[in-house]
Structure 1
Amino acid sequence: MTRYFDCHRVLSDVDGFASDWRRAGHEAPPTAALSMQELDPPEHTPVRRLFTTAFRDQDLDAIGDLAARDARAVFERLADATSFDFTAEVARPVALNAVCRLLGVQPPPVAAFAELSDALVRGMDAGLLPEVLEPAMAARARINELMAEWFTATRTPGLLAQVLGGADAAGVTEDAVWNNIRVLFLAGFSTTVGAAANAALALIEHPDALERLREPGLLQSGVDELLRYDGPVQGTTRACVETTEIDGVTVRRGDLVLALSGAANRDPEQFAAPNDLLLDRRPNRHLSLGWGPHACSGAILARTVIAALVQGLLAAPAPPRLAGPPTRVPRATLRYPDLLPVTFRTDDTDS
């Protein structure tokens, strides 16, 4: 499905379209249903409530301020560089630090963790490219080892400590906490990196838009428009629970329905001038971070980090520009530039 109305319907209709494919007659590993993204109400509800409450209790303003500080420090260090990779040198460290501050854990080395995360992201395309499955499973095992250290270490304030402390009272098992922390950690990192890299590229290609973001009150709507204009997540799949029709097409029980959010976000029936970057677009009910009870649990973090990076770019010594062509690794699930060469140097400086 590519049209906004159809995608929105499927993502909103939890009774008719399942995230937990077992409800539609599919088999799934026993641990799969322990993740919020693979559970449906009523099992989904206590887990979502536990994590949503913990999210709201974190000092997201402070996390955003520290992310902006991190971005400014990177940009100051790279001010005279003839070229630097925005994805590797800016988006990844800023996003990793932010998600680890949210959880209350020590961040692992950026480059090594990014390699593991990329292997897992590519593993989501194993249905198309079977050869990516084995590296993804190896990366998952190494990340599980990292997380095991978090669960045995002395607790520091953060989301992890709060959900562990409240899990029993919420009726959520420690296994469920484990799986959901892993999803939040990995999705929070990869989605935020992708969203940040896409946003940077869009602003470089629209320099007037970056300058406009200095206007008071425009940052929040501007961040959402950047997410709509080029969101990192291209689609998500649901399983049909009961035979139904979508626009005259019969969808039978067990059929898999792919909602292509990237296409829906450019649907002219929902968004006026869908191919334009309109920073003051309101309303902006884009699907870049999902919709309904299964909306991305790291959505707040993604918006916070993008806003921090925008503030860092506005404080940079000069507007950013491309220092070479962006490079993308073909992926079906996430879309963003894996290599984004950027510079703050002007043509005059280069000469």
Structure 2
Amino acid sequence: MGTVSPAYSPLSDEWLMHRFNHLSPDLAAELPDALARMRSMCPVAHSEEYGGFWVVTRYEDVVRVAQDWETFSSAHGLSVPSAPTHARHYPVQVDPPIQRVYKRLVNAFFTPAALAPWEQPIRELATRLIDGFADDGACDFMDAFARPFPAVSFFDQALHAPAEEVEKVALLASTSSIPNHPDAATSWAGLSAWVSEFVERRRAEPGRGDIVDGVLNAEIEGRPITREEVLGTVQLLILGGLETTAGSLGLMMLRFCARPEIPAMLRERPELIRAAVEELLRLDGSFIAIARTATRDTELGGKHIKRGDKVIIYWASANRDEAEFADPEAFRVDRSPNRHLAFGLGPHRCVGSNLARLSLRIALEEILGRLDDINVPERAAVRFHSTLTRAPRSLPITFTAR
């Protein structure tokens, strides 16, 4: 972006309204406060960065954009440039009606009934991971638990990928999702190559009745699914579930450290953990935004949006909008209704929301049952990455094993 004038210093009012940069580490660190200021000053703001795009922060406007796929398309220019070029991801980067075909293809594998057999293996995985660091009294939570937990679970239960490859591929998926990471482009290429090789291996193996078989054998509007569609669908399944769940776990752990009364309450009343997951997702969900492209001229929040304009809607801002949520900054386990948008909204709502809820509930049950006195060391600097998802890069914690 080059040198900016003092008027456009990071997170100044002028920066937020005219030079907003979703890749900025300054924004990543101060995201909730920055979005609150934008809701107040200019809920539909225009940034001059990346050729220009709109930033939408109010709940009502975010809902409208998410539901109106005919005006705000996912099929053309899904995101403002933030990552190396990759294959089209299905069903996220196509619009209805064809989008519904791809979504139905994967939906059947993520219903509560389909996921019920996963609960015990996921719980056993959580226990094994905690066993690995519980006696140490300290760990980097992101490395020791938050990132391996959803990765190992998904590769094992959903893809039936070889166990010896999980760590490598999870690292590729995580690194490729981190903006400005020096290895991002290489990781994208490595992940794409692995997905291609994995799919070809599975074609040659007997069927297992899992989601990979479902994708490989799918028909799209009466024709066999193409190789490009298979690769795009499998790659999205990997990217969509790993860093988002890891990020949410990291953000939740940070809140536990800052507000120890919350984990104390949940230890005393574990039956509240399910409701607590929903409130924590509202406050600390890591799927923070998504981008669309306007297909026609329209008006939003009093601003004229032109055909072809890019629009980023911030779930993380809508989830703290005072117009929708009373006392929005407070953690209220009994909040009702809680119409949060942590999994998005509309036809492109996250297909893996049931799996995420299951994984987060089990993770909190096992962590709170095993670890007390969780803290971030005083001098530890917690840094974040943030594009359309947000997560701590690392999170050192100390604790007492129960």
- TM (normalized to structure 2)? 0.75
User: What is the alpha-carbon distance in structure 2 between the residues aligned to residue 99 and residue 19 of structure 1?
Assistant: 26
Is the Cα contact below 8 Å between 1:209 and 1:279 reproduced in 2?
A: no
Match of 2:215 in 1: 163
Taking CA–CA contacts closer than 8 Å with sequence separation of 6 or more, which of the two structures ends up with the larger relative contact order?
Answer: 1
How far residue 262 of structure 1 moved from its aligned partner, in angstroms, is 1.3
Is the Cα contact below 8 Å between 1:85 and 1:342 reproduced in 2?
A: yes
Cα separation, partners in 2 of 1:88 and 1:305, compared to 1, 3 Å = same
What secondary structure sits across from 1:318 in the alignment?
strand
Cα separation, partners in 2 of 1:343 and 1:71, compared to 1, 3 Å = farther
Q: Which moved more, 1:52-61 or 1:197-206?
A: 52-61
Which residue identity does 2:187 align to in structure 1?
A: A
Is the Cα contact below 8 Å between 1:167 and 1:173 reproduced in 2?
A: no
Q: Unaligned regions of 5+ residues in structure 2, if any? A: 1-55, 79-84
1:238 maps to 2:292: yes
How far residue 140 of structure 1 moved from its aligned partner, in angstroms, is 2.1
Cα separation, partners in 2 of 1:217 and 1:57, compared to 1, 3 Å = closer
Match of 1:272 in 2: 326
Matching residue within 94, 115, 121 for 1:60: 115
1:103 maps to 2:151: no
Matching residue within 352, 356, 364 for 1:310: 364
Q: Percent identity?
A: 28
Is the Cα contact below 8 Å between 2:243 and 2:391 reproduced in 1?
A: no
Match of 1:144 in 2: 192
What secondary structure sits across from 2:397 in the alignment?
strand
User: What is the alpha-carbon distance in structure 1 between the residues aligned to residue 128 and residue 197 of structure 2?
Assistant: 29
1:86-130 deviation per Cα after TM superposition (whole angstroms, max 9, x unaligned): 1111011111122111223234556533442233113xx4xxx5x
Which residue identity does 1:12 align to in structure 2?
A: Q
- TM (normalized to structure 1)? 0.85
What secondary structure sits across from 2:124 in the alignment?
helix
Match of 2:311 in 1: 257
Which residue identity does 2:232 align to in structure 1?
A: N
Is the Cα contact below 8 Å between 2:282 and 2:340 reproduced in 1?
A: yes
Is the Cα contact below 8 Å between 1:76 and 1:316 reproduced in 2?
A: no
1:282 maps to 2:336: yes
Is the Cα contact below 8 Å between 1:326 and 1:338 reproduced in 2?
A: no
Is the Cα contact below 8 Å between 1:105 and 1:156 reproduced in 2?
A: no
How far residue 251 of structure 1 moved from its aligned partner, in angstroms, is 0.7
Q: Give the root-mean-square deviation of aligned CA atoms.
A: 2.8
1:175 maps to 2:231: no
The aligned length equals 334
User: What is the alpha-carbon distance in structure 2 between the residues aligned to residue 33 and residue 76 of structure 1?
Assistant: 39
1:208-253 deviation per Cα after TM superposition (whole angstroms, max 9, x unaligned): 2223335364232211111111111221111111111112211111
How far residue 317 of structure 1 moved from its aligned partner, in angstroms, is 4.9
User: What is the alpha-carbon distance in structure 1 between the residues aligned to residue 177 and residue 86 of structure 2?
Assistant: 19
User: What is the alpha-carbon distance in structure 1 between the residues aligned to residue 160 and residue 295 of structure 2?
Assistant: 39
Q: Unaligned regions of 5+ residues in structure 1, if any? A: 24-29
User: What is the alpha-carbon distance in structure 2 between the residues aligned to residue 248 and residue 317 of structure 1?
Assistant: 50
Is the Cα contact below 8 Å between 2:172 and 2:191 reproduced in 1?
A: yes
User: What is the alpha-carbon distance in structure 1 between the residues aligned to residue 270 and residue 328 of structure 2?
Assistant: 24
Q: Which moved more, 1:71-80 or 1:250-259?
A: 71-80
Matching residue within 293, 317, 331 for 2:347: 293
1:303-347 deviation per Cα after TM superposition (whole angstroms, max 9, x unaligned): 22111110111220534332353522443332221211122238x
User: What is the alpha-carbon distance in structure 2 between the residues aligned to residue 330 and residue 31 of structure 1?
Assistant: 20
Which residue identity does 1:36 align to in structure 2?
A: P
Which residue identity does 1:90 align to in structure 2?
A: F
Match of 1:339 in 2: 394
Which residue identity does 1:304 align to in structure 2?
A: L
1:51 maps to 2:106: yes
What secondary structure sits across from 1:258 in the alignment?
strand
User: What is the alpha-carbon distance in structure 1 between the residues aligned to residue 132 and residue 72 of structure 2?
Assistant: 49
Is the Cα contact below 8 Å between 1:67 and 1:305 reproduced in 2?
A: yes
User: What is the alpha-carbon distance in structure 2 between the residues aligned to residue 109 and residue 329 of structure 1?
Assistant: 27
How far residue 156 of structure 1 moved from its aligned partner, in angstroms, is 3.4
How far residue 70 of structure 1 moved from its aligned partner, in angstroms, is 1.8
Is the Cα contact below 8 Å between 1:83 and 1:341 reproduced in 2?
A: yes
Is the Cα contact below 8 Å between 1:243 and 1:253 reproduced in 2?
A: yes
User: What is the alpha-carbon distance in structure 2 between the residues aligned to residue 332 and residue 34 of structure 1?
Assistant: 17
Cα separation, partners in 2 of 1:242 and 1:168, compared to 1, 3 Å = closer
What secondary structure sits across from 1:259 in the alignment?
strand
Match of 2:174 in 1: 118
Cα separation, partners in 2 of 1:109 and 1:92, compared to 1, 3 Å = farther
